[in-house]
Structure 1
């Protein structure tokens, strides 16, 4: 394949292999000048300017990026044309004499390959600089779209267009949420590690970052369980597969007649993968935690890490000693040591480089070594032997001889673990049944709870109180696995509640509480149509 020449537009040979010549300006000297010139042509294209003369490019370049004379710029333009980024055409518009006709004058235009290279570099820079964000609004949107799907699934004949549009909006919001969360957690880890982060800037915005994390965690606790419950409702009742089939059929309408069935099957498989990804993100299974749970745990863990980084920075500014400061001081001592002997002594003192304790040197050995010193370069074969204490023979390493141990049979242990897991599932089910109030009641009327039910109650109460804001009198929260929902209402009568447990008595202000077993509702019948608590959810449901 011949290299691209000036004015060439094709960058694939007969075998279909692509030539990456338009990226050659990134690995040569004067890369900054080439990037500036290409930026000028990209900006000119946005203004619908097709051709540029060297004088136009020279005037458009900023002062720090502008070469000393226009001849250096012309050479750069010719190099870009040789690589395929630009196309050079003879400039005959300013020819007035025969001498001008034979003089080398060109006007330059951005090629398709050059434009594609600039777009790729822009995407690369955007991905590197992307910080991401934790989108609490996307959680509200996902709840609204899932509720709309529940309403559509309850119809005798769901509308294909409305079903398809709802699923498209749901997957778009979910993909944006997942991508931004992944980018944000990556940038957060770089912030914790202080990679590419200014210390003063980090200290200036760490309070806002922690508040941002706490607010998103509260929204994830409130809405994550609700999303898991809605996904479980659609999946357990078998409503989602017909909806996915409707969306796939609508996407395959414009396919060729002989490819319609295959296109519908492929679209259906794509929708199944998307739905499975959504379910895995919010719904935990046995032996696998959901991505939302992992994100919640990671965000919770990052808060003490951020505080630890702040504490370390404050310690450094206050002059306190840490390991890195100790190593810097030790390095300075090594540099200031007068000779190698002093450096060896410093090494032994700092790192505990002492003789082996199982080797003994008595007075006779020392006198013999003093009388007849042994140079360090002497081979061990020629040197006098070193006497080793017999203690090493009695307490040294011992290797067991004989046949290897038999492989242990873990069948009984696995059976016991399975029985333990089944027993825990039954205990949790009994605890959910014991906590389900069947309506609104007072905390003081819950009575006595066993340890399993009390632990589940504390988790529910913690989820509800984590969403409480000043001025609120009522809140609703869902457990992380989407199996329980608690509705808590404050009372102003000043009464106190007591919940007795085998370990003691739990006391606190009395509230009205309603605990609903969502898993039991999904097994018995369709989920109740509850109005959304968030105004945005109401708008999405109506839509």
Structure 2
């Protein structure tokens, strides 16, 4: 009677911890070369095989691998490559087959000649490592172009939803393109903000490179923030229109049915349900990214706030770098200098004096210690473990004993006149308050008007207008035609209402022309009637 095969799960006995560990090691053995001593050589050898497969070359000989290695990773002779190939065969990354193509005599059969090719496990391991390297090195980008593409795809969906019988192929194509662009936008934004924080923290960034890069980075952030304010509101409106039509579910079901048509026979019953749930989750994620809900801000608004907060952080880093380059010392430099002084001190007495001078460890002010006391202590040292009751008494100032306070006599310090600095700060504050008040007065509409009627705005008024517009668009909900928002400081209120004439508003500024869909707007200055000193 033959014994059951150990690889047969039906005939094998219970698997213990040792067997489970061995099975896991066998499954992940193709990754073992990453922690080996010659890991760099193994990685380059595997890349040679991966590149050869892309050129439809199946087998490689050791000399072929040796010639294809980069010069900086190429060993002196092919023997080291042959040893690396044998190790990779042992880990399961490669497969070795006898090389009989160059046999010309009987003795050649006894020589060790092999050709090598990738195994399925080795190829899978290389693809996983390539994906890991790509994700690790990705910096990400704020894709304003993706916002435009999302607007285009949503408008196409509106057209399809308006048809009596939407085309399933077109719906699938548009939704797939929309999901692809949205996923790329969200992932790249996350990666970019992570790399931006690393740049702000100056991890691995040269000072000169950072100073040259920060201007372009700030302009890049400001441009994306403006696009996110305008296009994010437009995307929220389009999502609201689609949901108002009540046809989003139909488009998602058509797309899910078209995807499930290619499912395997054993998965056909549940494929359409799973596909619909997957597409419904994607649509909910898209809506949550651009549309705020009760108790939850949209991801677009959170991203805008994060990008706005990165600008002052970058400027703070630049200020710190300029201070360092100007020669101003920081705490770490001070401690290093102090440590050098301690090392150069001639004796312990000098080190104690330096310690007291550096850290302010002076004697108690109410205790009188004169030269005679110090001489007596030098002649008869008192151990630190001596109790106070057994130690020699210390003389206390009679004035402290009588009045409870002790003041040193001497000429008082001159009071520095800072009236000029206070006057300059007051002038600067008054000028800024006047500019902000003028901007509020310029934007106040005294009733309902069109955005196109606002005319030309100066930079201060235009910046205030953009903040108000961003706040009101962030409160927009699907199906609403009018919304109201208040500025963060509570000084302005804006009411925005949709128009049906599809007109475009243009607002001219010294930096260019701002364009967007025209709306009726009512901007109210809430500080009217409040004394100027109380308005903020």
What TM-score, normalized to structure 2? Answer: 0.66
Residue matched to 2:205? 197
Residue matched to 2:273? 265
Q: Does 1:517 align with 2:497?
A: yes
Residue matched to 2:465? 461
Work out the CA distance in 2 between the residues paired with 1:187 and 1:40.
31
Residue matched to 2:147? 139
Contact 1:133–1:184, Cα closer than 8 Å, also in 2: yes
**Is the partner of 1:132 in helix, strand or coil?**
coil
Q: Does 1:206 align with 2:214?
A: yes
Structure 2: which 5+ runs fail to align?
7-19, 395-443, 456-460, 483-490, 507-515, 517-536
Equivalent of 2:178, from 166, 170, 173? 170
**Is the partner of 1:67 in helix, strand or coil?**
coil
Contact 2:472–2:496, Cα closer than 8 Å, also in 1: no
**Is the partner of 1:52 in helix, strand or coil?**
coil
Residue matched to 2:476? 482
Alignment of 1:240-319 (within 5 A): 240-255=248-263, 262-319=270-327
Equivalent of 2:166, from 158, 171, 185? 158
Q: Structure 2 vs 1, CA of residues 379 and 156 (structure 1 numbering), >3 Å: closer, same or farther? A: farther
Q: Structure 2 vs 1, CA of residues 433 and 13 (structure 1 numbering), >3 Å: closer, same or farther? A: farther
Q: Structure 2 vs 1, CA of residues 186 and 458 (structure 1 numbering), >3 Å: closer, same or farther? A: same
Q: Structure 2 vs 1, CA of residues 77 and 139 (structure 1 numbering), >3 Å: closer, same or farther? A: same
Alignment of 1:86-101 (within 5 A): 86-101=94-109
Contact 1:433–1:517, Cα closer than 8 Å, also in 2: no
Contact 1:228–1:481, Cα closer than 8 Å, also in 2: no
Work out the CA distance in 1 between the residues paired with 2:175 and 2:333.
56
Work out the CA distance in 2 between the residues paired with 1:169 and 1:485.
29
Contact 2:93–2:118, Cα closer than 8 Å, also in 1: yes
Q: Give the CA deviation at 1:346.
A: 4.4
Residue matched to 2:341? 333
Q: CA RMSD in A?
A: 4.5
Alignment of 1:77-116 (within 5 A): 77-116=85-124
Residue matched to 2:242? 234
Work out the CA distance in 2 between the residues paired with 1:277 and 1:379.
73
- Higher relative contact order (Cα pairs below 8 Å, separated by 6+ residues): 1
Q: Does 1:118 align with 2:126?
A: yes
Deviation string 1:229-269 (CA, Å, 9 cap, x unpaired) is 22233335544333333333333344578865643332222
**Is the partner of 2:27 in helix, strand or coil?**
coil
Q: Structure 2 vs 1, CA of residues 45 and 183 (structure 1 numbering), >3 Å: closer, same or farther? A: same
**Is the partner of 1:482 in helix, strand or coil?**
coil
Q: Structure 2 vs 1, CA of residues 169 and 317 (structure 1 numbering), >3 Å: closer, same or farther? A: same
Work out the CA distance in 1 between the residues paired with 2:103 and 2:153.
66
Contact 1:244–1:268, Cα closer than 8 Å, also in 2: yes
Work out the CA distance in 1 between the residues paired with 2:358 and 2:446.
63
Q: Give the CA deviation at 1:30.
A: 1.8
Q: Give the CA deviation at 1:62.
A: 2.9
Deviation string 1:17-42 (CA, Å, 9 cap, x unpaired) is 86211111111212222222222222
**Is the partner of 2:95 in helix, strand or coil?**
strand
Contact 1:485–1:515, Cα closer than 8 Å, also in 2: no
**Is the partner of 1:479 in helix, strand or coil?**
helix
Q: Give the CA deviation at 1:179.
A: 0.5
Residue matched to 1:449? none
Deviation string 1:258-313 (CA, Å, 9 cap, x unpaired) is 86564333222222211211111111223322111111111111112222222222
Equivalenced residue count is 426
Q: Structure 2 vs 1, CA of residues 246 and 70 (structure 1 numbering), >3 Å: closer, same or farther? A: closer
Q: Give the CA deviation at 1:338.
A: 4.6
Q: Structure 2 vs 1, CA of residues 45 and 156 (structure 1 numbering), >3 Å: closer, same or farther? A: closer
Residue matched to 1:320? 328
Q: Structure 2 vs 1, CA of residues 458 and 83 (structure 1 numbering), >3 Å: closer, same or farther? A: same
**Is the partner of 2:292 in helix, strand or coil?**
coil
Deviation string 1:383-414 (CA, Å, 9 cap, x unpaired) is 98999xxxxxxxxxxxxxxxxxxxxxxxxxxx
Work out the CA distance in 1 between the residues paired with 2:133 and 2:196.
19
Structure 1: which 5+ runs fail to align?
3-11, 388-431, 445-456, 467-476, 487-502, 505-513, 522-526, 538-543
